[in-house]
Amino acid sequence: MRTELNYCWDCGHPAETQFAEGRNRKVCSDCGTILYQNPLPTTVAVILNEKDEILLVQRAFAPAKGEWCLPGGFMELGETPEEGIIRELKEETNLDGTVKNLIGVSPSQYGVWGDVVVIGFTVNASNGEMQAGDDAMGVQYFPMDSRPKLAFQTHEKIMHMYMENFHGE
């Protein structure tokens, strides 16, 4: 979980929990600044090959080390979600890509980093020799009907959205 805010980032005085703007929030006890905590944006890609197999990445680090997930990760400052997923795809698989469609968005509580918002895209992969890189220990296409269970519930939610709205297009 993300560290709880105990001090104001404007004046340094202690923060306390108060009911503000319709919910309990950390508020500075001196200057009244509301210490907003917002979810971190992440992106994932659903990528199919010509055999209708899905591209998955095997995680090299915790959380969920050794488990399979959709390619993706945290957005960087100044990036659009589309730029973020294309960068993550290259880092994890060595493949280039083009964003095709927005699948949907799924919020989640995500342990060490607090709340995240996962933004899912369909992506066409191209160029490059597929190989695990960055924080991946493996990268592989799987038949849709026999793919491994995904490491994160939000990735399964994005897959469900994809299957309902885009699969077979």
Same structural domain, 48 and 126: yes
Q: What is the pLDDT of residues 113-155, one digit of tens each?
A: 778 999 999 999 988 799 999 789 999 999 999 999 999 999 9
Q: Are residues 31 and 55 in the same domain?
A: no
Tally of structural domains, the chain: 2
Question: Residue 2 sits in a domain of what CATH number?
Answer: 2.20.70
Residues 31 and 49 in one domain: no
pTM of the model: 0.87
Q: Is residue 59 located within the same domain as residue 16?
A: no
The CATH number of the domain where 79 resides is what? Answer: 3.90.79.10
pLDDT at 3: 67
46 shares a domain with 33? no
Q: Which domain holds residue 75?
A: 40-165
**12: confidence class by pLDDT, cuts 50, 70, 90:** very high
For the chain, give the mean pLDDT.
92
Q: Alpha-carbon distance 149 to 58, whole Å?
A: 11
Examine the domain organization and report whether 31 and 44 are in the same domain.
Answer: no
